A and B are shown apart, each in its own frame.
Chain A
Amino acid sequence: MSEESIISLKNVNKWFGDFHVLQDVNLEVKKKERIVVCGPSGSGKSTMIRCINRLEEHQEGSIVVDGIELTGNLKNIDNVRKEVGMVFQQFNLFPHLSVKENITLAPIWVKKMPKSEAEELAMRQLEIVKIPEQANKYPGQLSGGQQQRVAIARSLAMNPNIMLFDEPTSALDPEMIKEVLDVMVDLANGGMTMIVVTHEMGFAKTVADRMVFMDEGKIVEEASPDKFFNNPESDRTKLFLSQILHQ
């Protein structure tokens, strides 16, 4: 199992001060697998995926991404970050750079790509997220949905093997959620390995290979979407589903 895993978390523990935010988390993700993580707020789901590209440091256990173990070794961290793209709830575009510059910056400076090549790449990525006409605007001039799609394009430009999504639609107006989810569905159909923290259950049902439900820092349930939604095992999961599906 672990040999074909591209991401492997074993007995991962983490504390914020005295708060035990991740408790013995174990997760194996295979290549091209699409995982949707859900759970109530404060359950540690964001912290877990932020540990995978070391935006947060885990204190116990091991995390191996594409054969590289995440330790204090800075070179390993850099190598993992080149493999793993991340999309944030708040988009986090660079406001002082145009859309095109946002996308070309990392390829030029981290991958040493020539500028013209990086610009072509940026335009290709913008085509994929369906906003090539916004290339020369600044992030502040775009709608939330457009900004989030630029953020996805920016991550994809580094040609990652794995994409992490940390509540990508939670900061969006309802009518913009679909345009972002559409891009994510395309990406999933293209065979990207994805871990998505989201409350969009419709999206989960369409693309997820596996659902992961977290509560109080633990993984409570892991199941196929079909089983997860129709026949969940734990009472906590049932309660959670009844609450969010009633909305």
Chain B
Amino acid sequence: MNEMNEVRKPPVATTGIIGWLRINLFFNWTNSLITLFVIYCLYQFIPWILDWTIFSADFKYNYLGEQITNQEMCSRNLDPENGGACWAVIYVRFYQFIYGFYPKVEVWRVNLAYVMLAFALLPLLYAKLPYRKYFLYFTYIFPVIAYFLLNGGLGFTEVSTNKWGGLLVTLVLGCTGIALAFPIGIMLALGRRSKLPVISMMCTLFIEFIRGVPLITLLFFGMVMLPLFLPEGIDMDGLVRVLVAVTLFQSAYMAEVIRGGLQAIPPGQYEAAKSLGMSYWRMNLLIILPQAIRISIPPIVNTSIGLFKDTTLVIIVGILDLLGIGRGTLADTNWLGLSYEIYFFVSLVFFIFTFGMSRYSLYLEKKLKTGINMGAD
């Protein structure tokens, strides 16, 4: 017995970096082969992309030291051997990318709105924020402030929405669409499950109709047909029409996502709430929805990310969002041929926002995990 103990080798390390590498990258020979292949590809790709985006790129000046004002002055157009990305186009057109054609004198209003948006999001992002309650009050009134700030009124000069563009439009559409669609989606989901046949049928019809139609069609509907439903003499703002279409679209999807969560709640939860004397609304607000929404966080964030990216479709009804400004810049003879830089920049901005959303959903899932151990008993 003792002899056997002496020849036994220590177990293979399973912790630490070495252990991690062994388990995840070099577990067997196919695994190792794939790892080596991927490392080779990264070795080829990373230096090239770093060189193109940073080391050989022009930011404001070309390699001759001149300030770049059009595409002919980009290093890579002066000397194809020498030069990477020409970020000067982003630098020159930065204002348009972020604010569209918002008048320069009034642009502080947009900046203020951006800062306020960050403050409005704070209490939603950090549950442990000190004085969170007061921040939440601000979050609730922020949309009203933002409306007057961006659009004008209450002493501010009016800036008509056809001057808005770029990131401003993308954020307005994305945030408003998501924020409005959430409560409407909850109501639609509850309505669809209602025992009252009229309500349930109306909600089902609405959801199925909106889901069955592409967003582009809804955008055209908002642009062309919505004004027909309004009384004569009232002109609806173009951006508002698009917002209505986007919100309707998103609410239908949100409703189905939340309905999925509602279906996962065991009937015993309803019975327990009822047996304690809770009314329909109290039962849903206090017992059912908090659980259903927790279950639905991943798909809720999924559809929200989808909507945020779908806002780029507004270009077809003539509203210039971030991508729209990018395409507009490309059509400018001064900046012809810089599509790599522009699409790279637009993708990066979208990625930052959508990646943020997906990280936020992971954080929420982790935070809410305690206590939701439904199966455990």
- Point out residues on A near B: beta carbons under 8 Å: 53, 55, 78, 81-82, 84-86, 88, 90-98, 105-106, 109-110, 138-144, 147, 151, 154-155, 158
Contact = CB atoms under 8 A, between A and B. Distances in A.
User: What size tier do the contact residues of chain B reach?
Assistant: 20 to 34
B329 to A, nearest CB: 49
Given A95-B374, A140-B372, A90 B275 contact: no
B209 to A, nearest CB: 32
Contacts of A109: 278, 282, 286
B328 interface: no
Contact of B276 (A90, A147, A155): A155
A158 B277 contact: yes
Nearest to A108: B286
Contact of A55 (B266, B275, B282, B377): B275
B93 interface: no
B132 interface: no
Given A95-B373, A97-B371, A147-B377, A78 B268 contact: no
Contact of B287 (A53, A81, A94): A94
A88 B268 contact: yes
B22 interface: no
Interface string B283-311: 00011001100100000000000000000
A120 B268 CA distance: 27
Contacts of A81: 274-277
B370 interface: yes
Contacts of B266: 90, 92
B290 A96 contact: yes
B274 A55 contact: yes
A138 B277 contact: no
Contact of B286 (A91, A105, A147): A105
Contacts of A144: 377
B268 A140 contact: no
A158 B282 CA distance: 16
A87 B238 CA distance: 57
Contacts of B272: 86, 88, 92-94, 151
Given A92-B268, A110-B282, A144-B377, A84 B275 contact: yes
Given A88-B272, A92-B271, A144-B377, A106 B278 contact: yes
A73 to B, nearest CB: 14
Given A92-B266, A96-B291, A151-B272, 19 more contacts: A55-B274, A78-B277, A86-B271, A86-B275, A90-B268, A91-B377, A92-B268, A94-B287, A94-B291, A96-B294, A98-B371, A105-B286, A105-B287, A106-B277, A109-B278, A139-B373, A140-B372, A155-B276, A158-B276
B279 interface: yes
A110 B277 contact: yes
Nearest to A53: B275
Contact of A82 (B277, B287, B373): B277
Given A96-B290, A110-B276, A88 B271 contact: yes
B376 interface: yes
A95 B371 CA distance: 6
Contacts of A142: 377
